[in-house]
Chains A and B, each alone.
Chain A
Amino acid sequence: MTLSNRSSSSRSRRDTRLVAAVATAALGSSAIFVLIVGFLLKESWPALSTIGPARFLFDPAWRPTEGLFGLAPMLSASLAASVGAVILATPLGVASAIFCRHYAPPPIGWIHRWSMALLSGVPSVVIGLWGLTAIVPLIGRFEPPGASLLAGILILTVMITPTIALMSGAALDSLPDAYGRGAVALGLSREATLAHVLLPAARGGVAAGILLAAARALGETMAIVMVSGNVVQAPLSLFDPVRMLTANIALEMAYATGSHRASLFVSGLMLTALVIALAAAAWRLSGDHCHG
């Protein structure tokens, strides 16, 4: 064999080169996030240093060309839409996960699971297109113009329900069989088994799924731009058109310059911090963040 002909010194040199190459690649890929945060900071620095972080929260309005940089209306719109979507999607998602495992006959449960996986992969721009042509006119019939906080909440619900369903399903699947069998042996009803044995045991995974779904909702951009009306105002009613933080970046980045552009990077920084805080909480809850 050729392998055994090679001297061991050339072999160990090859190994050293391999380690050096893969270590460089690994350092490179882990540096990407640092690079991203670095660039966000660099680009937002002009705004952070001259305008100051407080004014982004407390300025009365968002008129960057006139020197008003209040992000509060958009921040509150983002939070309202995400919280609303999580409130709607949590029962739907958890119920879907339970349905697949404990109520549906196997083929139907399988189809339902498969469609959840497919739905979670539908691109946000496609959901936005559907929202704009199906949901918005429907809302507009009762309360014109239709493009509103409510449309945003409903569209986000469609997008994050699969996340919650898939994560809760995985949490239910990872429970030991003994829990279910023990509950049956105690003569508990199906409702009691689920509500008092299985769901409490899986609550870490379910909560992690909800937090990840919330992070996805906060970070979602395209679908929200398409359905929520994009007027900068604090959401006072469900039917008000609103503009989320992400949508603001997507809409104004094309023409923003100077401190306007820098303040868009500030909102990007804010968004990243929010989303990562949610994801970190999710990892802590699910307890599976111990790679290596």
Chain B
Amino acid sequence: MLPTPSLRDALYGFGICIAALLVAAIFFWLLADLAWQGVGRLDWTFLTTPPRNAGRDGGLAPILVSTSLIILVAMSVAAPLGVATAIFLSEFTPAGGRLARWMSLSLDVLAGTPSIVFGLFGGAFFCVFLGLGFSILSGGLTLACMALPILIRTVESGLRSSPIEWRLGAAALDLSRATLLWHVLLPAAAPSLAAGLSLGIGRAVAETAALIFTSGYVDRMPSSLFDSGRALSVHIYDLTMNVSGGDANAYASALVLIAFLIAANSLAFWFSNRIFGRRMARA
């Protein structure tokens, strides 16, 4: 006999709550483990001294520098390219046109490509074909390719969301497309650019597989963009897999990585809100 509706209702709710509780429990287990095992090593010296003894002791200084340089290279290539592409897709292609459709499809497919494939490509193209070798530049350019789709999508949706009245008003004032973009649409889309950048940085900081074969393993302080530099995520991987007794520092580095991710996200969103708020107040 089937259970009565009210019993079924209760069982269903019970199942849902148990499943959700399980997911939350796993999340807090992960978080607590990270905090518990990482926080002991974490202090100012850890952030400012170079690693010693293959990373078992010492800190992260050159690794933080390399990571920041890789991100900087990635974003300074991806941001202009991404904004220009977003402008083209939202302003200069007829809606639903064939060109726009093919471009969007190519970007969506790029967004879904696995990171190890980016690693293979970056190693073959930037390191060997362009002759950049294992360098911060190769790593940054590979990450720029990875972060581009999400950046474009976010800026594009920001541009598309500006009200049609602004375009009509600009047309009535006989403004050029360039003026309309520069003085009206782009400032209005600034929050979406900040959000896109923060998402792109998040994707880039979290990346490991694409960096192993492009920016390399060397944990010395980089002296130029053509030096190999070890990113934070690669450092965690190396400490866990190749260095016995490196777990404590790996956990501390993981905590730094997570803190960096959360900080990048909150900063970008705070920033974008501020711009947005000021614009709205002025309007």
Contacts and interface: CB of A to CB of B under 8 A. Distances in A.
Interface of A: 3, 11-12, 14-15, 18-19, 21-36, 39-40, 42-43, 91-93, 95-96, 98-100, 103-104, 112, 115-116, 118-119, 121-130, 132-134, 158, 161, 165, 189-192, 194-195, 212, 215, 218-222, 225-226, 246, 249-250, 253-254, 264-265, 268, 271-272, 275-276, 279, 283, 289-292
Most buried by B among A43, A192, A292: A292
B20 A104 contact: yes
B16 to A, nearest CB: 5
Most buried by B among A91, A99, A118, A134: A99
Given A21-B84, A191-B9, A246-B209, A39 B121 contact: yes
B93 interface: yes
Most buried by A among B95, B116, B145: B116
A190 B5 CA distance: 10
A115 B84 contact: no
Contact of A99 (B19, B95, B236, B237): B19
A113 to B, nearest CB: 11
12 contacts: A11-B179, A18-B178, A39-B124, A39-B125, A40-B120, A104-B20, A119-B27, A121-B265, A122-B30, A125-B254, A189-B5, A292-B101
B23 A272 contact: no
Given A250-B116, A279-B112, A129 B96 contact: no
A33 B109 contact: yes
A271 B114 contact: yes
A64 to B, nearest CB: 16
A134 to B, nearest CB: 6
Nearest to B212: A250
Given A36-B113, A125-B236, A194-B12, A161 B206 contact: no
B16 A98 contact: yes
Contacts of A39: 121, 124-125, 129
B225 to A, nearest CB: 21
B100 interface: yes
B124 A30 contact: no
Contacts of B240: 125, 128-129, 132, 226
Nearest to A290: B96
Contacts of A32: 106, 110, 145, 148
Contacts of A268: 116-117, 120
The 4 A-B residue pairs with the shortest CB-CB distance in the complex, in nearest-first order: A219-B114, A25-B84, A95-B19, A123-B206
B82 interface: yes
Interface residues of chain A: helix, strand, loop or mixed (majority) = helix
Contacts of B6: 189
B27 A126 contact: no
A59 to B, nearest CB: 21
Contact of A195 (B12, B94, B103, B181): B12
Interface string B241-283: 1000001001100100110011001000000000000000000
Contacts of A119: 27, 30
A93 B23 CA distance: 8
Contact of B117 (A40, A95, A158): A40
Nearest to A230: B241
Given A14-B178, A29-B85, A23 B92 contact: yes
B231 to A, nearest CB: 10
B166 interface: no
B34 interface: yes
A119 B206 CA distance: 12
A225 B241 contact: yes
Most buried by A among B13, B175, B265: B13
A193 B152 CA distance: 39
A272 B19 contact: no
B164 interface: no
Contacts of A91: 19
Nearest to B26: A158
B116 A246 contact: yes
A276 B29 CA distance: 33
Given A28-B81, A96-B23, A128-B237, A123 B106 contact: no
B89 A26 contact: yes
A6 B115 CA distance: 49
A22 B84 contact: yes
B112 A276 contact: yes
Contacts of B96: 290, 292
Given A30-B102, A91-B19, A253-B213, A121 B93 contact: no
Nearest to B90: A292
A53 to B, nearest CB: 18
A219 B115 contact: yes
A29 B92 contact: no
A33 B113 contact: yes
Given A30-B106, A95-B19, A275-B113, A133 B247 contact: yes
A292 B24 contact: no
A108 B236 CA distance: 33
Contact of B176 (A11, A195, A218): A11
Nearest to A17: B178
